């Protein structure tokens, strides 16, 4: 677990300190996954006290037939050195994309809904080289609707919705990102950030990633993703990230990769409390050739049902073109507390650990793994070039050139393991659209069975009053 001082209100500060004390007493080992504070360094109230730049004062009209793009850029220019760029409640069209570059101590308060109406590629909203930034809805009802179905019904893709690059000390929270023509939220080389109380709902096809992130010292928590590709995925390079209370609800599932290139450096990543339903996998690490290392990562408390794959490490992933190099080294990885069911454990092994011939994995630990098949009466575990303990891993080996490659070995499980039957979530989807408009969902208040979100929704009586006051300025 970890903590954040990104919102400096006294009540939240007290709750945060109490949470920190509990974690120190009972879960101290996970604290090492973050290195210092995350989130904005200036409170929302302090930003508002400097200046509020409403898009309505810069030419915007609350109409889907309008274009909020120029007004958003103008409001940003007026508030980029400190203040709130404010999108009041209402519906806004967006036909020109915006690049918000630089600045410090600013926030984008999205209380309205922005609808994509333009047809350009690239990124609807691109934020780069900024510091001390907050992107949020004070009512928890703000959203960006990408209307991706207009592309997908013809088998095409379009733009990303939101991209951040080289942004430091920031947060994104209490908004919905819906039906992107391509990726939904892409965070590239970001640091000291917090993403929470977020819902992403996309179309039922590949290439519509939910969240992709690379960088350092990131806390992602209390997030729901529905699509047919990445749920929350770690990209290269990444270090010291904590990802917890994640709800992959009819999605591709969480992952690392794909790991292309010869400079792979991913370490000290901790996934905890991930619930996956109707996904391609519960977690996958995917590479094909390349070089570098993934090390000192842990994956704890995974629950799921009706997923095609479960734990899948594939160093020969055929959907990635073979990269130069002998392969990425996977070492010192811990998987514990995995429960639930998979679609067909005999056809797709719930433990599938395929490591490179020239770089066998080592110090891989599997424990408390209880996943049972929904089809048939047996399942198999498959391992190759993988050393450690648990499942089908080969014992012994502590790394180095002395580790020998070995062919695929299997372990057959002929009866249901004890404790496999995991709880479900009431909001589990049974279908997901593609060729028609996807309704904007509410930001949920539950993301993992039995787990309480770390932060209450921003929306509520106090938040609504503040929003009404701002909208009447």
Grade residue 436 by pLDDT with cuts at 50, 70 and 90.
very high
Average pLDDT, integer, range 445-458:
97
Q: Is 342 a residue whose pLDDT tops 90?
A: yes
CA distance 303 to 424: 8
Tell me, what's the pLDDT at 385?
Answer: 97
CB atoms within 10 A of CB 219: 26
Grouping H, G, I as helix, E, B as strand and the rest as coil, residue 442 is coil
Structural tokens at position 295: 């090390």
Q: Where are the domains of the chain?
A: 1-207
Question: How far lies 87's CA from each of 45, 194, 260, 297, 307, in Å?
Answer: 16, 21, 39, 39, 39
Q: Is 183 a residue whose pLDDT tops 70?
A: yes
CB atoms within 10 A of CB 400: 8
Average pLDDT, integer, range 51-71:
98
Percentage with pLDDT > 70 across the chain: 90
Grouping H, G, I as helix, E, B as strand and the rest as coil, residue 444 is coil
Tell me, what's the pLDDT at 397?
Answer: 74
Grade residue 3 by pLDDT with cuts at 50, 70 and 90.
very low
Average pLDDT, integer, range 133-157:
97
CB atoms within 10 A of CB 324: 10
Average pLDDT, integer, range 226-241:
97
Q: Is 192 a residue whose pLDDT tops 80?
A: yes
Percentage with pLDDT > 90 across the chain: 89
CA distance 195 to 261: 28
Average pLDDT, integer, range 84-107:
98
Tell me, what's the pLDDT at 402?
Answer: 77
Q: Is 16 a residue whose pLDDT tops 90?
A: no
- Quote the mean pLDDT of the chain: 91
Tell me, what's the pLDDT at 400?
Answer: 63
Length in residues, the chain: 473
Average pLDDT, integer, range 236-263:
97
Contact status, residue 379 vs residue 346, Cβ threshold 8 Å: yes
Average pLDDT, integer, range 67-87:
98
DSSP 122: S
Tell me, what's the pLDDT at 469?
Answer: 30
Tell me, what's the pLDDT at 401?
Answer: 65
Tell me, what's the pLDDT at 26?
Answer: 31
Tell me, what's the pLDDT at 9?
Answer: 38
Q: Which residues, at least 6 apart from 32, have a Cβ–Cβ distance to it below 8 Å?
A: 268
Q: 404-417 pLDDT, tens per residue?
A: 999 999 999 999 99
Tell me, what's the pLDDT at 460?
Answer: 63
Classify burial at 350, counting beta carbons within 10 Å of its beta carbon; exposed 0-12, middle 13-18, buried 19 or more. Answer: buried
Tell me, what's the pLDDT at 4?
Answer: 42
Q: Is 333 a residue whose pLDDT tops 60?
A: yes
2.40.30.10, 2.160.20.10, 3.40.50.300, 2.60.40.1120: CATH of 1-207: 2.160.20.10
Question: How far lies 113's CA from each of 52, 110, 369, in Å?
Answer: 19, 7, 43
């Amino acid at each position: 677990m970890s903590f954040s001082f990104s919102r400096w209100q006294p009540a939240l500060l007290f709750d945060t300190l109490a949470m920190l004390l509990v974690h120190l007493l009972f879960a101290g080992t996970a604290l090492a996954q973050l290195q210092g504070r995350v989130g904005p360094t200036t409170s929302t109230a302090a930003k508002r006290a400097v200046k509020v730049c409403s898009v309505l004062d810069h030419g915007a009209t609350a109409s889907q037939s309008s274009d909020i793009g120029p007004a958003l850029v103008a409001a940003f220019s007026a508030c980029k050195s400190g203040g709130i760029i404010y999108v009041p409640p209402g519906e806004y069209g967006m036909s020109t994309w915006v690049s918000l570059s630089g600045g410090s101590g600013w926030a984008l308060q999205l209380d309205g809904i922005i609808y994509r109406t333009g047809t350009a590629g690239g990124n609807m909203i691109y934020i780069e080289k900024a510091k001390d930034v907050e992107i949020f809805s004070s009512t928890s009802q703000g959203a960006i609707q990408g209307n991706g179905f207009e592309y997908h019904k013809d088998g095409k893709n379009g733009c990303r919705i939101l991209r951040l690059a080289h942004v430091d000390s920031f947060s994104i929270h209490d908004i919905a990102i819906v039906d992107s023509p391509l990726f939904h939220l892409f965070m590239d080389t970001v640091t000291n950030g917090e993403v929470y109380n977020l819902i992403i709902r996309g179309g039922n096809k590949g290439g519509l990633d939910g969240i992709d992130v690379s960088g350092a010292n990131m806390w992602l928590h209390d997030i729901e993703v529905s699509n047919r590709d990445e749920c929350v995925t770690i990209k290269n390079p990444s270090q010291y990230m904590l990802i917890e209370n994640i709800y992959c609800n009819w999605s591709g599932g969480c992952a690392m990769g794909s790991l292309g290139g010869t400079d792979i450096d991913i370490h000290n990543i901790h996934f905890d409390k991930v619930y996956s339903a109707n996904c391609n996998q519960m977690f996958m690490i995917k590479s094909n050739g390349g070089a570098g290392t993934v090390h000192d990562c842990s994956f704890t408390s995974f629950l799921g049902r009706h997923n095609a794959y479960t734990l899948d490490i594939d160093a020969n992933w055929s959907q990635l073109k073979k990269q130069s190099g002998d392969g990425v080294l996977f070492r010192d990885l811990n998987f514990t507390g995995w429960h639930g069911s998979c679609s067909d454990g005999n056809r797709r092994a719930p433990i599938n650990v395929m490591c490179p011939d020239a770089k066998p994995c080592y110090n891989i630990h599997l424990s408390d793994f209880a996943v049972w098949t929904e089809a048939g009466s047996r399942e198999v575990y498959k391992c190759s070039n993988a050393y450690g303990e648990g499942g089908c891993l080969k014992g012994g080996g502590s790394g180095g050139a002395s580790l020998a490659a070995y062919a695929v070995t299997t372990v057959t499980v002929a009866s249901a393991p004890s404790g496999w039957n995991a709880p479900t979530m009431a909001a589990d989807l049974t279908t997901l659209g593609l060729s028609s408009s996807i309704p904007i969902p509410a930001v949920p208040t539950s993301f993992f069975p039995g787990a309480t979100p770390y932060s209450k929704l921003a929306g509520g009586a106090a938040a609504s009053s503040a929003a009404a006051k701002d909208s009447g300025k």
